[in-house]
Amino acid sequence: MDLGATLCTRHRPGCTHCPLRQDCRAYLQGRPADFPAARPRKALPVRQARLLLISNHDGAILLERRPPAGIWGGLWSLPECPGAEDVAAWCARRYGCHALRITPGKALRHTFSHFHLDITPLHVRADHKTNTIMEPSEIVWYNTSAPDERGMAAPVRQLLAEWRAVVDIN
């Protein structure tokens, strides 16, 4: 008989029927429900990401479809600028945007099952919307005042909503 799977379960130990109770320290101490102690949670590793909220003169935000593999695969997202890149140069090279102003937004942590993602949003005011190297089907200038149902990860939606709230106030 597997006592651990049947009688001595974590949440409802059946001590009154247990043949081991005279030798059971948990029972003798009056703490049968305290054992086994919960395993300490493993600390999750932390990754960093810079997500760009590139806005044009119409107040639209540039979204890009993520590659099929990796986090948020195939979803629409804010562009993720690699940490080693100069933001203005990267925007110019990738999207044909001239960054007029770059300001940091409020940091956000999103937790996946295997890691935390610490997101630094950067607001980039851009002066035009020429697309240089992206496929047109993989990029869109998104009207945040008329959101649609396209697939986006929750933190991206949150960052867009926060950006919209700031725009509406000003």
Give the amino acid at 95.
Answer: Y
Give the amino acid at 140.
Answer: V
Q: Which listed residue (7, 92, 108, 134) binds ligand SF4 by CB under 6 A?
A: 7
Q: Using the rule CB under 6 A, give the single segment among 8-16, 107-115, 121-129, 146-154 that binds ligand SF4.
A: 8-16
Q: Using the rule CB under 6 A, give the single segment among 10-18, 57-65, 68-76, 131-139 that binds ligand SF4.
A: 10-18
The yes or no reply on residue 121 touching ligand SF4 (CB under 6 A) is no
d(CA 59, CA 61): 7
Q: Position of tokens 């008989």?
A: 1
Q: Which listed residue (1, 12, 26, 81) binds ligand SF4 by CB under 6 A?
A: 26
Binding mask 29-58 for ligand SF4 (x = CB under 6 A): ---x--------------------------
d(CA 59, CA 120): 21
Three-state SS for 79-130 is CEECCCCCHHHHHHHHHCCCEEEEEECCCEEEECCCCEEEEEEEEEEECCCC
Q: Which residues bind ligand SF4 (CB under 6 A)?
A: 7-8, 13-15, 18, 20-21, 24, 26-27, 32
